[in-house]
Homo-oligomer: A and B are copies of this chain.
Amino acid sequence: MFQNFTQYLIEKFHVKEPDVALIPELVQEKYISSGTFLLKPGEICQHTFFVEKGLFRLYSLSENGKEHILQFASENWLLSDRDSVFFKEPSKFYIEAIEDSILIPMDEEIFRKIAELSPNFSKNNEILLHNHIRHLNQRINLLLSASAKKRYMEFIKLYPDLQLRIPQWMVASYLGITPESLSRVRRDLASNT
């Protein structure tokens, strides 16, 4: 129970082994079935979720009815609309489970407790935020400069595991192209190899 979560606290926040035993009293795991929404536009995201097991997507719906996936989150990832949680503002996004999953919802209370148990919580937190920023910058750079084919190749290099669990049309949505285009890109790659 919580193996991933406790391991995460030990690795990323340097919580000591004995203190980790306190965790089960603080949090409660939540079973989510595929297709369930954790968040819809207009709602304020109340939790940052730790993904103990399963897979989620965070996406926006544009005026013309098209979905655009901004993030996937699988095991050992934190999942939330960071802006909505942090600034307590209504979200513009959907968060949906795309596999049967197990989550640890975390609120401010729990973060405070973790902060007590972590020798340097705010530094560790800062590292996570910077990692997030680095990742977003790389994605922007790719969207500005790379073709659909190149973006796809980067995607499978970066997420070789995810690629097998996600329907292809969601990969297309993440890359900012249509499923048809992705299908053609894949055909090209297969033939020119």
Q: Whole-angstrom distance between the alpha carbons of A92 and B134 in the complex?
A: 11
Q: Report which of B86, B134, B143 forms a contact with A140, defined as CB distance below 8 A.
A: B143
Write the chain B residue with the least CB distance to A64.
B145
Q: Does A180 contact B (CB under 8 A)?
A: no
Q: Whole-angstrom distance between the alpha carbons of A111 and B70 in the complex?
A: 33
Q: Which of A11-27 contact B (CB under 8 A)?
A: none
- The size of the chain A interface, using a CB distance under 8 A, is 29
Q: Are B145 and A82 in contact, CB atoms less than 8 angstroms apart? A: no
Q: Report which of B62, B127, B129 forms a contact with A130, defined as CB distance below 8 A.
A: B129
A134/B68 contact (C-beta < 8 A), A141-B60, A145-B62 known: no
Q: Are A141 and B70 in contact, CB atoms less than 8 angstroms apart? A: yes
Q: Are B136 and A137 in contact, CB atoms less than 8 angstroms apart? A: yes
Q: A92-B141, A126-B129 are in contact. List 4 more A-B contacts (CB 8 A).
A: A70-B140, A83-B133, A83-B137, A140-B143
